[in-house]
């Protein structure tokens, strides 16, 4: 949970009106330098008024590692993964309005937390954009994004170098495919809540440090994979045991179910998605 003193808690969090379906929104102040502290404040809005905001989807991370931000003029501690995300998504010349569960919900108020969880489906569905934060930048991300771009931009090219026309050799290198496998193996893809949030998003942006990938690119790459699964991936991996391309089938399979449910988003709510992805990991057992 976020670490705040009880005296500060009452000053930061004021009761929300259940009948108005109120939520809190976080306004992140502009910032340019990496060393510049994170400053933000909260406001209250009713979902009935259709406020304009974005929503963050992320993994909470280790509760023992926290960082301090300035929330409404007071010190407020958040877990390091969220702190890193706030640094990365902060805009240099204007404020950003976003919904983030760890800050916008009073995590020490069990009753409020319970009521706000009931609204989370509408919160993510009503967001102008959902930002999926996968973590800080790593060396292999550039290779992973290059493979996804190749898969989405050139759907007719084959991944089996024996079948023309095929992708450039650089895309087919084991190191490139392995980077994509590692990208899909990040913690964000393994959590119950994150896949629900992704399925409910009207517009998705995937962030890895300062690198950005649109949801459309990922969806196109996913479609490319399944259209080439038999002619490329299955045949190639069968003849090249140990090649990382064999792991793509396992890593792309959950995405297949997610996209199927996303197409029926108006017909289901959080509990039904949870049933579908109940085998996925949770930070807390009660999330299952």
Say which residue, 82 or 283, is predicted with more confidence: 82
Strand pairing category for 54-57 and 204-208: unpaired
**82: exposed, middle or buried (Cβ count in 10 Å: 0-12, 13-18, 19+):** buried
**Cβ neighbours of residue 66 under 8 Å, at least 6 residues apart?**
2, 3, 77, 78, 79, 80, 83
| pLDDT over threshold 50, residue 109 | yes
pLDDT of 265 reads: 53
Strand pairing category for 66-71 and 54-57: unpaired
Cα separation, 267 vs 269, in Å, equals 7
| pLDDT over threshold 90, residue 286 | no
pLDDT of 203 reads: 93
Cα separation, 218 vs 196, in Å, equals 16
In this predicted model, what pLDDT tens digit does every residue of 125-148 receive, in sequence order?
A: 999 999 999 988 777 788 888 888
Cα separation, 77 vs 72, in Å, equals 13
Quote the pTM value.
0.85
| Mean pLDDT value across residues 81-90 | 95
pLDDT tier for residue 6 given thresholds of 50, 70 and 90: very low
H-type alpha helices, 99-160: 101-104, 110-126, 141-153
Name the least confident of 68-82, 140-154, 263-277: 263-277
**DSSP element (H, E) containing 214:** strand 211-214
Using only C-alpha atoms, the chain has a radius of gyration, in whole angstroms, of 20
**DSSP element (H, E) containing 44:** strand 39-46
In this predicted model, what pLDDT tens digit does every residue of 226-244 receive, in sequence order?
A: 787 777 766 666 676 667 7
| pLDDT over threshold 60, residue 184 | yes
Average pLDDT, rounded, for the chain: 82
pLDDT of 288 reads: 35
Question: CB 1: neighbour CB atoms within 10 A?
Answer: 14
pLDDT of 254 reads: 67
Identity of the highest mean pLDDT range in 24-33, 236-245, 246-255 = 24-33
Say which residue, 13 or 278, is predicted with more confidence: 13
**Cβ neighbours of residue 136 under 8 Å, at least 6 residues apart?**
84, 88, 208, 209
The proportion of the chain whose per-residue pLDDT surpasses 70, expressed as a percent, equals 79
């Amino acid at each position: 949970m976020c670490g705040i003193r009880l005296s500060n808690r009452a000053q930061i969090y004021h009761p929300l009106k259940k009948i108005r379906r109120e939520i809190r929104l976080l306004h992140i102040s502009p910032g340019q330098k990496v060393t510049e502290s994170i400053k933000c404040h909260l406001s209250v809005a009713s979902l009935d008024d259709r406020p304009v905001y974005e929503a963050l989807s992320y993994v909470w991370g280790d509760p023992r590692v926290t960082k301090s931000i300035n929330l409404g003029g007071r010190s407020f501690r958040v877990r390091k993964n969220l702190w890193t995300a706030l640094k990365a998504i902060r805009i240099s010349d204007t404020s950003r309005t976003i919904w983030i569960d760890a800050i916008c919900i009073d995590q020490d108020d069990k009753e409020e937390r319970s009521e706000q969880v009931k609204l989370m489906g509408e919160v993510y569905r009503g967001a102008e954009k959902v930002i999926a934060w996968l973590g800080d930048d790593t060396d292999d991300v550039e290779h992973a994004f290059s493979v996804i771009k190749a898969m989405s931009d050139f759907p007719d090219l084959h991944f089996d170098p024996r079948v023309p026309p095929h992708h450039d050799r650089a895309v087919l290198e084991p190191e490139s495919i392995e980077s994509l496998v590692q990208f899909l193996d990040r913690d964000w893809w393994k959590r119950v809540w994150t896949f629900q949030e992704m399925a409910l998003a009207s517009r998705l942006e995937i962030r890895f440090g300062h690198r950005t990938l649109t949801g459309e690119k990922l969806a196109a790459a996913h479609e490319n994979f399944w259209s080439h699964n038999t002619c490329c991936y299955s045949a190639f991996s069968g003849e090249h045991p140990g090649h990382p391309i064999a792991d793509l089938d396992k890593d792309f399979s959950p995405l297949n179910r997610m996209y199927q449910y996303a197409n029926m988003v108006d017909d289901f709510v959080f509990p039904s998605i949870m049933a579908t992805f109940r085998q996925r990991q949770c930070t807390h057992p009660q999330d299952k």
